[in-house]
Homo-oligomer: A and B are copies of this chain.
Amino acid sequence: MSLGRNADSVTGRPAPGRVEDVRRGNLVRVLAAMVQARTDPNFRPTRADLASRTGLTKASVSSLVAELVDAGLVAESGATREGERGRPGVGLELNTRRGVVGMEINVDYISAGLLDLGGTLRIHRTLESGNRGQTPESVMALLAGIVGDVAAEASAAGILILGGGLAVPGLVDSSSGTVASAPNLHWRGVELQLDRLLPAAPFGTVLHNEANCAALAELWYGHGLDFRDYLFVSGEVGVGGGLVIGSELFAGPQGQAGEVGHMVVEPSGPACSCGGHGCLETFAGQEAIFSEAGIPPGTASVRLARLGELLASGDAAAISAVARAGRYLGIAAASTARLMNLSAVVLGGHFTPMGPWLRPALQRSLAEYAPGIVGDARVEISELGQSAALLGAAGSSLRAVLAAPFSLTPAS
């Protein structure tokens, strides 16, 4: 159909203006082939490899690679390999002297890090900061400070920053850079000054939901390699989530899907920050677990460390608090599995360190409420830890660059 739509109606031949579209599409295909080639980290494709992977002619690939090298996206790795036939080829790689910045504002910290185009997190800075109830301006000023540090460090290492992604724990409108609602920050309808973060980056900074970013990081760098379809649940102060279907994030009609923390798991349950009650977050959010475990108020990192000690020492209240969270996570996952036909669950954020105690309770709950639907082998714990949201925000920016390389190349 799309062939017909772009082409003359009878012959299917593209209008002259479409030749430029084809060139752009081919630049993307070459980059996609380079990303795919990275499944073996030691492999550096030659121009001939890329021709064979894309179906393009070697002459086309040479011309396209020259453009990508000029644009700074691709670099010759220096190593030469024997081609199957003819002259030895020069290995190519995504240019690691170009990068994107991942950023995160959470309730009790902010962070920023540099991901190079090769997919390596080169710099990662985190600053503890009690952001709940702070003005967006003051938190953004703090963030701009550490982003400036990351940018300076990148510059010193000779790495040019192309774009960035910022993850926040709330519902966002990416197109306008607005946080519609972040209850745990007490922000509502806030338009963030994203342009100030990376003023020189050609792809700018894009706003994302934190849990969606963590789900994407899991997809690209974690258990997404095992499962194509799963519910990702991230424990932070709130409980966020992401729905991965066919190895893509399901965003929902307004881009706000995945609010698993506000699924109702106990109709008579306690009041929630969202205005409802009995939400998953009221049993599996940090405050719920810490207070059920009898851990006194304090900073989240200190309380999380204390919970870890109590669990390791066999403390009954701590074990019971985590098991209760696991039971309600299982109820939400059972309902999600039935509703959306998802048969795997991956847990991240603060659930990761609780994994050994949480997972058995969650598995029992799934067996009780959705028997035969989600097997024990399909409940996994993320290993990405606290960098997941930042990594997903950076990865989104990286993908935006690789999907629009023509923004950096001259038009033909």
Contact = CB atoms under 8 A, between A and B. Distances in A.
Given A2-B2, A334-B264, A338-B262, A22 B11 contact: yes
Contacts of A246: 253
A371 interface: yes
Interface in A205-264: 228-229, 241, 243, 245-246, 250-260, 262-264
Interface stretch (A156-164, A272-280, A314-322, A386-394): A272-280
A36 interface: no
Max chain B C-beta neighbours (<10 A), residue from A255, A276, A372:
A276
A22 B11 CA distance: 8
Interface in A265-292: 265-267, 274-278
Contacts of A137: none
Contacts of A369: 264, 267, 276-278
A338 B260 contact: yes
Contact of A339 (B19, B54, B251, B336): B336
A126 interface: no
A338 B60 CA distance: 48
A191 interface: no
A134 to B, nearest CB: 24
A154 B264 CA distance: 50
Contacts of A275: 371-372
A79 interface: no
A285 to B, nearest CB: 14
A90 to B, nearest CB: 21
Nearest to A171: B341
Given A4-B25, A228-B253, A339-B260, A55 B9 contact: yes
Contact of A60 (B9, B55, B243): B9
A267 B266 contact: yes
Given A253-B228, A260-B339, A264-B369, A28 B1 contact: yes
A19 B9 contact: no
A308 B331 CA distance: 34
Contact of A243 (B18, B260, B339): B339
Contact of A341 (B57, B255, B265, B370): B255
A342 B253 contact: yes
Interface of A: 1-4, 6-7, 9-14, 18-19, 21-22, 25-26, 28-29, 54-57, 59-60, 228-229, 241, 243, 245-246, 250-260, 262-267, 274-278, 331-332, 334-336, 338-343, 368-372
27 contacts: A3-B7, A3-B14, A3-B22, A4-B25, A10-B22, A10-B59, A10-B60, A12-B19, A228-B253, A243-B339, A245-B252, A245-B253, A246-B253, A250-B340, A252-B341, A253-B343, A255-B341, A260-B338, A262-B335, A263-B335, A264-B334, A274-B371, A275-B372, A276-B334, A276-B368, A276-B369, A276-B370
Report the 6 A-B pairs with minimum CB-CB distance, sorted nearest first: A252-B341, A12-B22, A4-B25, A263-B335, A259-B338, A229-B253
